[in-house]
Amino acid sequence: MNGRNPDGSFWTHGITGATAQYLYDGVPGLGTDWTEMNIDGNGTANPMGDRRFIATSIEETFNPGDTLVYNYAIIVNRQGDHLENVQGLIEYADSVQNYFDANNTDCSSNINVGLTQELEIGNLNLFPNPATNQVQITWEDMNFKEIIITSYQGKLIKKVLVNNTKGKKTVDLNQLSSGVYFVRMGNYAQKLIVK
Protein backbone atom coordinates (compact mmCIF):
# COMPACT_ATOMS: atom_id res chain seq x y z
CA MET A 1 0.00 0.00 0.00
CA ASN A 2 1.36 3.39 -0.93
CA GLY A 3 -0.22 5.14 2.04
CA ARG A 4 -1.12 8.26 0.07
CA ASN A 5 -4.00 10.70 0.10
CA PRO A 6 -5.94 11.41 -3.12
CA ASP A 7 -3.80 14.52 -3.68
CA GLY A 8 -0.65 12.35 -3.67
CA SER A 9 0.66 13.44 -0.27
CA PHE A 10 1.77 10.71 2.14
CA TRP A 11 -0.40 9.56 5.01
CA THR A 12 1.09 10.63 8.30
CA HIS A 13 0.89 8.85 11.63
CA GLY A 14 -1.69 10.65 13.77
CA ILE A 15 0.59 10.83 16.80
CA THR A 16 4.20 10.91 15.61
CA GLY A 17 3.62 12.70 12.29
CA ALA A 18 5.90 10.18 10.56
CA THR A 19 4.98 8.79 7.14
CA ALA A 20 2.52 5.89 7.58
CA GLN A 21 1.36 3.06 5.35
CA TYR A 22 -1.62 1.98 7.47
CA LEU A 23 -4.30 3.84 9.40
CA TYR A 24 -4.67 3.15 13.13
CA ASP A 25 -1.96 0.52 13.42
CA GLY A 26 -2.09 0.26 17.23
CA VAL A 27 -4.12 -1.71 19.78
CA PRO A 28 -6.56 0.48 21.80
CA GLY A 29 -6.03 -1.25 25.16
CA LEU A 30 -2.36 -0.22 25.34
CA GLY A 31 -3.17 3.50 25.47
CA THR A 32 -0.06 4.73 23.67
CA ASP A 33 -0.59 3.65 20.08
CA TRP A 34 -2.38 5.33 17.19
CA THR A 35 -5.88 3.87 17.30
CA GLU A 36 -9.45 4.90 16.76
CA MET A 37 -9.54 5.62 20.51
CA ASN A 38 -6.44 7.85 20.28
CA ILE A 39 -6.26 9.53 16.88
CA ASP A 40 -4.06 12.46 17.94
CA GLY A 41 -2.02 11.35 20.98
CA ASN A 42 -4.34 13.22 23.37
CA GLY A 43 -6.94 10.47 23.70
CA THR A 44 -9.33 11.93 21.13
CA ALA A 45 -11.54 9.17 19.72
CA ASN A 46 -12.61 8.84 16.11
CA PRO A 47 -16.29 9.97 15.94
CA MET A 48 -18.92 7.25 16.27
CA GLY A 49 -20.11 5.92 12.94
CA ASP A 50 -17.06 7.12 11.02
CA ARG A 51 -15.88 3.78 9.64
CA ARG A 52 -14.41 3.74 6.18
CA PHE A 53 -12.94 0.85 4.26
CA ILE A 54 -9.80 0.91 2.15
CA ALA A 55 -8.68 -1.89 -0.15
CA THR A 56 -5.54 -1.54 -2.20
CA SER A 57 -3.23 -3.47 -4.43
CA ILE A 58 0.33 -2.91 -5.48
CA GLU A 59 0.92 -0.92 -8.63
CA GLU A 60 1.70 -3.37 -11.39
CA THR A 61 2.31 -3.41 -15.09
CA PHE A 62 0.91 -6.32 -17.02
CA ASN A 63 0.92 -7.32 -20.64
CA PRO A 64 -2.05 -8.21 -22.86
CA GLY A 65 -3.31 -11.66 -21.93
CA ASP A 66 -1.80 -11.61 -18.42
CA THR A 67 -4.06 -12.42 -15.47
CA LEU A 68 -3.80 -10.74 -12.09
CA VAL A 69 -5.54 -12.20 -9.05
CA TYR A 70 -6.01 -10.29 -5.81
CA ASN A 71 -7.49 -11.95 -2.73
CA TYR A 72 -8.94 -9.82 0.06
CA ALA A 73 -10.46 -10.89 3.36
CA ILE A 74 -12.82 -8.53 5.15
CA ILE A 75 -13.03 -9.63 8.77
CA VAL A 76 -15.12 -8.25 11.62
CA ASN A 77 -15.31 -9.12 15.31
CA ARG A 78 -18.40 -7.96 17.18
CA GLN A 79 -17.65 -9.82 20.43
CA GLY A 80 -16.84 -7.80 23.53
CA ASP A 81 -16.60 -4.05 23.80
CA HIS A 82 -14.61 -1.66 21.63
CA LEU A 83 -11.37 -2.64 23.39
CA GLU A 84 -11.88 -6.38 23.85
CA ASN A 85 -12.82 -7.08 20.25
CA VAL A 86 -9.42 -5.94 18.92
CA GLN A 87 -7.60 -9.04 20.21
CA GLY A 88 -10.37 -11.23 18.78
CA LEU A 89 -10.00 -9.46 15.45
CA ILE A 90 -6.26 -10.16 15.46
CA GLU A 91 -6.98 -13.85 16.18
CA TYR A 92 -9.59 -13.97 13.40
CA ALA A 93 -7.09 -12.44 11.00
CA ASP A 94 -4.53 -15.10 11.91
CA SER A 95 -7.15 -17.86 11.41
CA VAL A 96 -8.20 -16.48 8.03
CA GLN A 97 -4.57 -16.24 6.89
CA ASN A 98 -3.80 -19.77 8.12
CA TYR A 99 -6.88 -21.17 6.34
CA PHE A 100 -5.97 -19.41 3.12
CA ASP A 101 -2.35 -20.58 3.29
CA ALA A 102 -3.31 -24.20 4.09
CA ASN A 103 -5.99 -24.55 1.44
CA ASN A 104 -4.32 -22.53 -1.28
CA THR A 105 -7.82 -21.74 -2.51
CA ASP A 106 -8.40 -19.00 -5.01
CA CYS A 107 -11.10 -16.84 -3.44
CA SER A 108 -11.71 -14.76 -6.51
CA SER A 109 -14.08 -14.96 -9.37
CA ASN A 110 -12.77 -13.87 -12.73
CA ILE A 111 -13.15 -10.15 -13.22
CA ASN A 112 -12.19 -8.73 -16.57
CA VAL A 113 -10.61 -5.32 -16.56
CA GLY A 114 -9.36 -3.31 -19.44
CA LEU A 115 -10.31 -3.56 -23.05
CA THR A 116 -12.31 -6.63 -23.99
CA GLN A 117 -12.53 -5.94 -27.70
CA GLU A 118 -10.26 -4.67 -30.41
CA LEU A 119 -10.80 -0.98 -30.95
CA GLU A 120 -10.43 0.63 -34.34
CA ILE A 121 -8.27 3.69 -34.79
CA GLY A 122 -10.34 5.87 -37.05
CA ASN A 123 -10.90 9.54 -37.74
CA LEU A 124 -10.23 10.46 -34.15
CA ASN A 125 -7.21 12.64 -33.40
CA LEU A 126 -5.62 13.99 -30.22
CA PHE A 127 -3.32 16.99 -29.96
CA PRO A 128 -0.96 17.38 -28.20
CA ASN A 129 -0.16 13.79 -27.31
CA PRO A 130 1.54 13.41 -24.83
CA ALA A 131 -0.48 16.12 -23.08
CA THR A 132 -0.31 17.90 -19.75
CA ASN A 133 -3.19 20.26 -18.93
CA GLN A 134 -5.57 19.74 -21.83
CA VAL A 135 -5.98 17.84 -25.06
CA GLN A 136 -7.79 18.84 -28.22
CA ILE A 137 -9.89 16.02 -29.66
CA THR A 138 -11.02 16.20 -33.29
CA TRP A 139 -13.19 13.73 -35.18
CA GLU A 140 -14.87 13.25 -38.54
CA ASP A 141 -17.69 11.07 -39.86
CA MET A 142 -18.62 9.64 -36.48
CA ASN A 143 -22.15 9.82 -35.14
CA PHE A 144 -21.63 9.43 -31.40
CA LYS A 145 -22.99 11.40 -28.47
CA GLU A 146 -20.00 11.20 -26.12
CA ILE A 147 -16.26 10.99 -25.81
CA ILE A 148 -15.16 8.49 -23.18
CA ILE A 149 -11.78 8.57 -21.45
CA THR A 150 -10.75 5.37 -19.64
CA SER A 151 -7.67 4.26 -17.74
CA TYR A 152 -5.55 1.52 -19.27
CA GLN A 153 -7.40 -0.91 -16.94
CA GLY A 154 -10.71 0.10 -18.53
CA LYS A 155 -11.98 2.23 -15.62
CA LEU A 156 -14.19 5.12 -16.73
CA ILE A 157 -12.38 8.37 -15.99
CA LYS A 158 -14.40 11.01 -17.83
CA LYS A 159 -17.36 11.41 -20.21
CA VAL A 160 -17.69 14.43 -22.46
CA LEU A 161 -20.97 14.95 -24.30
CA VAL A 162 -20.85 15.88 -28.00
CA ASN A 163 -23.54 16.12 -30.65
CA ASN A 164 -21.77 16.56 -33.98
CA THR A 165 -20.62 13.98 -36.53
CA LYS A 166 -17.61 16.21 -37.12
CA GLY A 167 -16.06 18.41 -34.50
CA LYS A 168 -13.43 19.59 -32.11
CA LYS A 169 -13.46 19.55 -28.32
CA THR A 170 -10.83 20.69 -25.81
CA VAL A 171 -10.81 18.52 -22.69
CA ASP A 172 -9.29 19.55 -19.36
CA LEU A 173 -6.80 16.99 -18.02
CA ASN A 174 -5.79 18.72 -14.77
CA GLN A 175 -7.61 16.15 -12.61
CA LEU A 176 -5.85 13.18 -14.25
CA SER A 177 -2.68 11.60 -12.88
CA SER A 178 0.23 10.98 -15.20
CA GLY A 179 -0.25 7.78 -17.17
CA VAL A 180 -1.77 6.06 -20.18
CA TYR A 181 -5.45 6.53 -21.04
CA PHE A 182 -7.72 5.69 -23.95
CA VAL A 183 -9.99 8.22 -25.64
CA ARG A 184 -12.96 6.53 -27.31
CA MET A 185 -15.87 7.45 -29.51
CA GLY A 186 -17.82 4.28 -30.19
CA ASN A 187 -15.34 1.70 -31.51
CA TYR A 188 -12.79 4.35 -32.47
CA ALA A 189 -9.97 4.89 -29.99
CA GLN A 190 -6.67 6.64 -29.51
CA LYS A 191 -4.11 6.19 -26.77
CA LEU A 192 -3.55 9.35 -24.73
CA ILE A 193 -0.44 9.86 -22.62
CA VAL A 194 -0.80 12.36 -19.78
CA LYS A 195 2.44 13.76 -18.34
C-alpha 70/C-alpha 2 separation (Å) is 16
- Rg for the chain, CA atoms, rounded: 23
Per-residue pLDDT tens listing for the chain (195 residues): 456 777 778 878 778 888 876 677 777 776 667 787 788 888 888 777 766 666 766 667 777 777 777 777 777 777 777 677 777 777 878 887 887 777 765 555 555 555 555 544 457 889 999 999 999 998 887 777 888 999 877 888 999 888 776 788 899 999 888 888 999 887 788 889 998
Cα(75)–Cα(119) distance, integer angstroms? 41
Domains of the chain: 124-194 (2.60.40)
> How far is Cα 60 from Cα 51, in angstroms, rounded to an integer?
28
pTM for the model: 0.41
What is d(CA 184, CA 142) in angstroms, rounded to the nearest whole number?
11
Q: What's the length of the chain?
A: 195
Alpha-carbon distance of 3 to 10, in angstroms, equals 6
Q: Which amino acid is at 8?
A: G
Nearest-angstrom CA–CA distance, 37 and 23 = 12
